[in-house]
Amino acid sequence: MKKYALYSLMLVMTALGFTSCNDGEDQLTDTTITNYVVLELQGDDFVLVPLGSNYVDAGCKADLGGEDFSSKLVKTGEVDTNTVGFYDITYSGTNPEGYAVSTSRTVVVYDPSVTVSIAGTYSVNMDASTYGKAKDLFSARAAGYGNTSQSTGIKFEEVAPGIYKVNDLLGGWYDQIRAYGSRYAMTGYVSLNPDNTLTLQSSLIAGWGDGLDYIDNTKVDPQAGTISYSLSYAGQIFMDIVLNKD
């Protein structure tokens, strides 16, 4: 009797084993493979173009599951070679399942007639820079906050001919003078014009997620190593910044 029960149990386990294996095979037959679009940007991802010249984009190649997918890419962005600045060209591709990928290049239009350089590190002239419509001196307002130190380390880094990345267009007001920290430095890009004025290209203060309204009254003296400009931020903060090269 025990042998019969053991034999019956073995038959049941064998049957379950076959069912389990069969279920596994059914699961394998239901498996699908998703191919994603593979992008290959042609040319460089950072391109310099002289003002007024012609620009022809090098394009982008794409592959989907071993087949050419290039003609199905969507290209966005245009380059105005008559205006100095940064331009992004983006290529996007989406597979049949709806998964999208993208890649881009940055095209910088620069003015080759600008040959002087203002790259370097600057300090704020605390007795010439002003805050607010009343034009209070930086030095006086800083003292009112208990901070009498000099605002320093304002860097102009040349990233393309005549175009500069600035680490704090606010002259260290929130970062150093108010001691909020580096997230409250107004980073940005400016371009130097042939008449030694500046044009604001972009700006961002990470801590608040916005940028300057504008800068104007710009003046650069490369020989004296001075830069000055007026700015507006958030529609209610106005400053006149004067920088001296270290």
The CATH number, out of the four listed (1.10.3470, 2.40.10, 2.40.128, 3.40.1440), of the domain defined by the range 120-245: 2.40.128
Which residues on adjacent β-strands are paired with residue 137? 130
| Superfamily for the 38-110 domain | Immunoglobulins (2.60.40.10)
In the chain, where the domains are located = 38-110, 120-245
Q: Whole-model pTM above 0.85?
A: no
Dihedral angle computed from the Cα positions of residues 207, 210, 215 and 220, in that order, rounded to the nearest 10 degrees: 50
Q: Check if the beta carbon of residue 239 is closer than 8 Å to that of residue 203.
A: no
In 3D, which of 115, 106, 119 has the Cα closest to residue 193?
115
Low-confidence spans in the chain with pLDDT less than 50: 1-28
Dihedral angle computed from the Cα positions of residues 208, 211, 213 and 216, in that order, rounded to the nearest 10 degrees: 130
- For residue range 111-154, list pLDDT tens digits in order: 999 999 999 999 999 999 999 999 999 999 999 887 767 899 99
The two tokens of residue 146 are 């208990």
pLDDT of residue 216: 97
Residues with Cβ within 8 Å of 13's Cβ and at least 6 positions away in sequence, in order, are none
